[in-house]
Structure 1
């Protein structure tokens, strides 16, 4: 009889361990690996060209053959770039979430997953996440033989909060 109880306890303990391990793995997968993510999150951006927390993975560095620089950028809610412009222009491919894009002198636009934004050469602009959403985009600096990005002042909290849902 003791042998049967011992086996039951071992079986229950084993099943409990298996269930706990499965739940633990599932939680880990959800927390650290999103199936919708196209590229890795990369390293936290540690410069003054961004407000808030952003992450960058460089996919290709500039070279003399392709004259293009490509990076995957993840913006946590409220994060954004400074005002800047690209001498050769920039293309943004929004792969996840929702954010803002604004050209100097124009209203802020909402940008969402699946959209392509063309930032003309030498046009001052900024982009980033909304206050409540994460934004992920692939940033392509084009025609880098014309020059690279020129970073300007921060987008103030007042400028950032001017989005009008018209």
Structure 2
């Protein structure tokens, strides 16, 4: 079991680190747009869509690793003062009551929504470029699945602390 938990950790860490290249691509895209818009007086029609898609891909590939590292925003006013086993029990309970139900609802509707987007060749209609939106929706769904896997790992570790008193 420890190997499976470690594999999820390693996968999410790898994806998070690999996505750093997207930040460089984002900076290059925005730099090009600024130069084209303000120096050449010829703005692009693709930079806005490209920038939010690159940003979303970076964020969604990073969010599970941030959960693993405990770097999400947390309200730990109570758990900070609790003994480790009780704090872990509270964390496990909150995963069960808040996180997993939300994730279940989200992931239960996303596959059909994403499949429909692929079937119709959905395009983003906010601008004139009309880029395909189905890859965007796909990586959001994949990222939420990876976040769910990491949350399951964190839940099992918290449960291990509750049951055994040590890290699982």
TM tier, shorter chain?
under 0.3
Higher normalized strand content (fraction of residues): 1
| Greater per-residue helix proportion | 2
TM-score, normalised to structure 2, is 0.22
Report which structure shows greater RCO (CA 8 Å, sep ≥6): 2
